[in-house]
A and B are shown apart, each in its own frame.
Chain A
């Protein structure tokens, strides 16, 4: 019965006060929850938290509040538990969507916000990752540099922070550009 209620075409449209926020302990949990909920087709968005619940390097997931029960149940099946579920009461911050691309001979660099990834287009190998300020950036660089775009781990799978999320956006754009 519930399953039928939440078919993709039946889901409520997003917008206004019918939206809720899922607040998690860390960005890793946000990224895992995003993956689970998107796989189920929910119209969710990863956003910046409003000031009253912001603590540091935060993300929240905006979701249709009407679906709260089903969303919580689906997350629980994946062993993900939000710290809080709150209604949207103020304007949320949009993640960066302005990407910059720079060609340097055989190399291509993509920048998203404060993160840059550079690839040798002849080989598809990631030759450098720069920018960022959170501790997982040097870790991600160690895991990804000198590997191919296909063979490197995805930032969203091994990173924890907003810097990792920005690098994921740059990485996805790089994959698009290199496969075009």
Chain B
């Protein structure tokens, strides 16, 4: 089963968990109907669409309202540290969250004590806090964009906000930053770097690149990185090996984006609704 963890930008949503139901441009969990626009709901919708196409059960999710003060995140960190074993999770994707090094370490200590540890995918706040605490290598896959890769590569930066200019500079090539991130042990077993060209890499270097189709507008659209994380998590859950899942996810996400005929003003649900058609084209090519 695929588990998804993240926050919802609505202050009064309590901690909710269970199986996700997709309803058009909303996800439904317990009594909450949540709009799919960006962030964790976009990741969840993309994962649910992918699992449905693959004939797999819908994902389970743990969500909590948090608008940035971290109260909801802390509540969920503590809940997960006690209850993460309640579902037999084969894959676990961890997403938007308030970074808190102490609570993250407590949660991962629990996860690593499970009889069968799920494959761990990290993005957004969970990727930040993992690197912040020197724990990026605990993940099987992280999905940074170019700016976040520079953060992983900067061994001194505790947050992307502090990435040093000489590392962040555009002249730096992605493969060099990947190598630097691995050299300082600030990378996961695999990396899926999203951007104008998507890179799939491990500690030995770049394994594959995906650069077609090209849609410049996608970079501006909030949520297109989140959909990639959702798709790759669902493909891993479906039984694909990590490299194949990452390569196919990059192709599907780009193709779904192109099928949406995007402008920089397009909203991410227009991309998500194209995912089944893109999966069909990529996986049956």
B9 near A96: Cβ-Cβ < 8 Å: no
Say if the beta carbon of A135 comes within 8 Å of chain B. Answer: yes
- Quick one: which of A98, A102, A137 contacts B39, CB cutoff 8 A? A137
In this complex, how many residues of chain A approach chain B with their Cβ under 8 Å: the count is: 51
Q: How far is the CA of A57 from the CA of B203 in the complex (A)?
A: 28
Given that A94-B162, A118-B264, A142-B9 are known contacts, is A134 also in contact with B216, CB under 8 Å in the complex? no
A131 near B220: Cβ-Cβ < 8 Å: no
- Measured between beta carbons, the chain A residues less than 8 angstroms from B39 are 137-138, 141
- Measured between beta carbons, the chain B residues less than 8 angstroms from A133 are 96-97, 99, 123-128, 148, 160
B163 near A96: Cβ-Cβ < 8 Å: yes
Interface size class of B (residues with CB under 8 A): 35 or more
Given that A107-B264, A131-B147, A133-B127 are known contacts, is A48 also in contact with B98, CB under 8 Å in the complex? no
A114 near B145: Cβ-Cβ < 8 Å: yes
- Quick one: which of B68, B219, B265, B267 contacts A136, CB cutoff 8 A? B68
Say if the beta carbon of B72 comes within 8 Å of chain A. Answer: yes
Q: How far is the CA of A164 from the CA of B70 in the complex (A)?
A: 13
B168 near A98: Cβ-Cβ < 8 Å: yes
- Measured between beta carbons, the chain A residues less than 8 angstroms from B127 are 133
- Measured between beta carbons, the chain A residues less than 8 angstroms from B169 are 98
Q: How far is the CA of A142 from the CA of B39 in the complex (A)?
A: 11
Residue of A at shortest CB range from B144?
A114
- Measured between beta carbons, the chain A residues less than 8 angstroms from B165 are 96-98
| B214 → A minimal CB distance (Å) | 13
Which residues from chain A sit less than 8 Å from chain B, CB to CB? 26, 28, 48, 51, 54-58, 93-98, 100, 102, 104, 107, 109, 111, 113-114, 116, 118, 120, 127-142, 145, 159-166
A-B contact pairs, 30 of them (CB 8 A): A26-B70, A28-B69, A48-B158, A48-B161, A57-B128, A93-B156, A93-B162, A96-B162, A102-B219, A107-B264, A111-B147, A113-B168, A114-B161, A116-B219, A118-B264, A118-B265, A127-B220, A128-B267, A130-B225, A131-B147, A131-B225, A133-B99, A136-B68, A138-B7, A138-B39, A141-B38, A160-B67, A160-B69, A160-B70, A162-B161
